[in-house]
Structure 1
Amino acid sequence: MTPVIIDTDPGIDDAIALLYALRQPDLHVLALTTVAGNIGLPVTTDNAARLAALAGRTVPVHPGAAAPLARAAEPEVAIHGSDGLGGVFLPEARLGASRHGAVTALSDLLMQTPPKTIELHCLAPLTNIAQLLQHTPDVAGRIKRLIVMGGAVATRGNFGPGQRAEFNLGQDPDAAAIVLHAGLDLTLIPLDATRQLRADAAYVAALRAAATPRATTCADLIDAYFGANEDRESRPLHDPCVPLLALHPDLFRVETRLLQVEPGTGALIDGPHPIQVAMGLDAAALRARLLAGLAIAGSPEAGTSTAC
């Protein structure tokens, strides 16, 4: 199993990613760290703990940054709702939030394990990871790999002036620059790839037919994610791409791009930093892998879900 720490801001697509990743036999999720992104930090932290309970996992949840490094947060309530989950009910958390903050937990876990052991799966603005690199730079060399959902390379963004940036990088461009320019082993999954992974009504029906609490909850979440799409195709399933790439790299087209983060906006522009970027994916095969992972049943599973 690959030891993993997931940095997250649940968030509808974060929730689907967590419910998938937390039950995969080849991923050992050591901890969840939370950040304000899609919604405020108390809500993202509570959502992460509730998602762990639904997945039947007792995983510590460490709250992190409540705001970007140098600007005010801009939560995405219009898409995710005031609860971050589009009104989908989750069971009570088994554990409350840890007393140890995200940066402390990241540093401790990385220092307590052999170098190049732990992967960081980043589903959110990169504030926590940037603070880790700023406060304890000696741990950077111990990270095995970062897989980051973020950015827009050759496609339109979804955040900021002119929609040039992507939400995660644009929410905290200073943090994005610190992490992406650090020379770490990092694979970026931008909108160029994630926009190819969507669900339709037939996929939601297949999730409901799987009949596990996690699959049923994900069906509810995707229903909430359809929004006003008249063709009944969901918004992109951005964040599930991160654990899917970790487990099924052959289903992604990854290439090296020379990039940098544009100051102030978080947009990706041509630059000196070689970064591994997933520019494409096999959407049909990945949807099948996601469904299969969410259909894993058996103890421990807990809770049910109901769209409110």
Structure 2
Amino acid sequence: MPLPLIIDTDPGVDDAFAIAVAALSEDVDLLGITTVFGNVPLEATTLNARRVLALCGRADVPVAAGAARPLVHAQLRRASHVHGPDGLSGRSATLPEPHRAVEPGGAVRLLVSLLEAAEEPVTIAPIGPLTNIALLLAAHPQVREKIGRIVIMGGGLAGGNSTGAAEFNIWSDPEAARRVLVEETVPCVLVPMDLTYRCAVDSAWLGELAASGPVGAALAALTPDYRAHYRTALGWDGIVLHDAVAVAEAIRPGILRTERYPVEVECSLGPARGATLVDRRRQALRADAEGDVVPGRVEIAVDTDLDGLRAFILERLARS
């Protein structure tokens, strides 16, 4: 049976790759896509998601627009310096125009309707700020039993990319991230930037993608601004497909090796705001104020077969 999957996203170049991986996978039942503010404003992320689906020939997949801002404090900075002014290196308009209108009622309404209609547990892959997912779980707790697991791209174990402490998706709405990762009971997998950076692809990989067919060529053409940023960030010519790594794990559980740990999210307004605090001490040393051992709840992705992961993503994107 195909895997029932919903993607929550803020496209974003790596989000576009992640959407395409799912949209082109025959073993995935892509139930819907919800959008959120993040790399660029909500209007742009929603249009980008619809255009990527049009590129993949997936007019059957509904798209609903979600949160335009964080739960509590305003977003301090977008990521247009990484993804370009429209989120896709200034090349969003090179993609096909969508034929399907945005779903009425918003992201949470679509999420609830898709989950309530599902006959088996649904995987949700949030690859942007976690605002929509926090709102869903807070307002509609009855849908928890319909969620198989939530596979999240976000966080950094050794630091961040938006600040020295915080990764962009978590930093954009720490209160929402804390709601999902700390306060909820739904099984979560967190795919941090420590691992996604190790999965970076080089110019040869991008060349193979561009030569694979019209979808691959169109996706590769979205990368110039993103590639320029990562040429500086990596020190060599390549890009980091953060979100596609998380969606690969959503599609093929176990493609990433995980370890279970307790997680906290820093929500203060100080320099550590948005930091993902993963307690990697031995379990016997993890005690609360009463001396009780604190169990790990979140599966943290720590390793993978790097070449195998890159080949998996390329093979899915070449299926067009």
Q: TM-score, normalised by structure 2?
A: 0.87
Q: 1:3 to 1:270 in 2, by over 3 A?
A: closer
Aligned AA for 2:225? A
Give structure 1 regions of 4+ aligned residues with deviation exceeding 6 angstroms. Answer: none
Q: What residue in structure 2 maps to residue 195 of structure 1? A: 197
Q: Which amino acid aligns with 1:179?
A: V
8 Å contact from structure 2 (residues 131, 176) kept in 1: yes
Describe the superposition over 1:259-302 as per-residue Cα deviations: whole angstroms up to 9, x where unpaired: 211223221124655210101222211111111111113xxxxx
Q: CA deviation at 1:235?
A: 3.4
Distance between the aligned counterparts of 1:49 and 1:91, measured in 2? 9
Alignment of 1:120-269 (within 5 A): 120-153=124-157, 155-160=158-163, 163-181=164-182, 182-210=184-212, 212-228=213-229, 229=231, 231-264=235-268, 265-269=273-277
CA distance in 2, matches of 1:67, 1:202: 38
- Against the structure 1 CA distance between its residues 207 and 235, is the aligned structure 2 distance closer, same or farther, given a 3 Å change threshold? closer
Partner of 1:103: 108
Give the Cα–Cα distance (whole angstroms) in 1 for the partners of residues 245 and 304 of structure 2.
9
Instruction: Give the counterpart letter for 1:195 in structure 2.
Output: Y
CA deviation string 1:190-248 (max 9, x = no partner)? 012111111211111111221x2221122223343211526543232100012211233
Specify every segment of 5 or more residues in structure 2 that has no aligned partner in the other structure, as ranges: 280-293
Q: 1:67 to 1:278 in 2, by over 3 A?
A: same
- Equivalent pairs, count: 292
- Maintained 8 Å contact 1:53/1:92: yes
Local SS of the residue matching 2:37? coil
| Distance verdict in 2 for CA 1:3–1:251, change over 3 Å | closer
**Deviation per CA, 1:97-122, whole angstroms, max 9, x where unpaired?**
111210011111111223x5211011
Q: Which residue identity does 2:313 align to in structure 1? A: L
Instruction: Please say if residues 208 and 216 of structure 1, whose CA atoms lie closer than 8 Å, have aligned partners that are also in contact.
Output: yes
Q: Counterpart of 1:61?
A: 63
Say if 1:208 and 1:219, in contact at 8 Å, map to a contact too: yes
- One-letter identity of the residue aligned with 1:104: R
Cα distance change, pair 78–34 in 1 and its aligned pair in 2 (3 A) = same
Deviation at 1:30, TM superposition (A): 0.8
Are 2:58 and 1:35 equivalent residues in the alignment? no
Residue pair 2:162, 2:171 contacting (<8 A) in 1 also: yes
Cα distance change on mapping 1:136 and 1:251 into 2, 3 Å: closer
Which amino acid is 1:20 matched to?
A: V
Q: Is 1:296 the counterpart of 2:319 in the alignment? A: yes
1:240 is matched by which residue type in structure 2?
A
**Preserved contact between residue 193 and residue 278 of structure 1 (Cα < 8 Å):** yes
Structure 2 residue corresponding to 1:91, chosen from 81, 96, 101: 96
Deviates more, 1:61-70 or 1:184-193: 184-193
Structure 2 letter corresponding to 1:248: R
- Are the structure 2 counterparts of residues 188 and 270 from structure 1 closer, same or farther at C-alpha, using a change threshold of 3 Å? closer
Q: Which amino acid aligns with 1:245?
A: E
Q: 2: distance between equivalents of 1:36 and 1:133?
A: 18
Which whole-Å CA distance do the structure 1 matches of 2:177 and 2:297 have between them? 15
Unaligned 5+ runs, structure 1: 298-308
Q: Does 1:279 align with 2:287?
A: no
Q: Percent identity?
A: 38
Give the residue type in structure 1 aligned to 2:83: H
Are the structure 2 counterparts of residues 117 and 249 from structure 1 closer, same or farther at C-alpha, using a change threshold of 3 Å? closer
**Distance between the aligned counterparts of 1:110 and 1:204, measured in 2?**
36
Q: Is the 8 A contact 1:253 1:281 kept in 2?
A: yes
Q: What amino acid does structure 2 have at the position aligned with 1:203?
A: W
Deviation (angstroms), 1:87: 2.1
How many angstroms apart in 1 are the aligned matches of 2:102 and 2:238? 31
CA distance in 2 between counterparts of 1:26 and 1:7 reads: 19
Task: Supply the RMSD in Å over aligned alpha carbons.
Answer: 1.6
Following the alignment from structure 1 to structure 2, what is the Cα–Cα distance between the partners of residues 205 and 106? Answer: 36
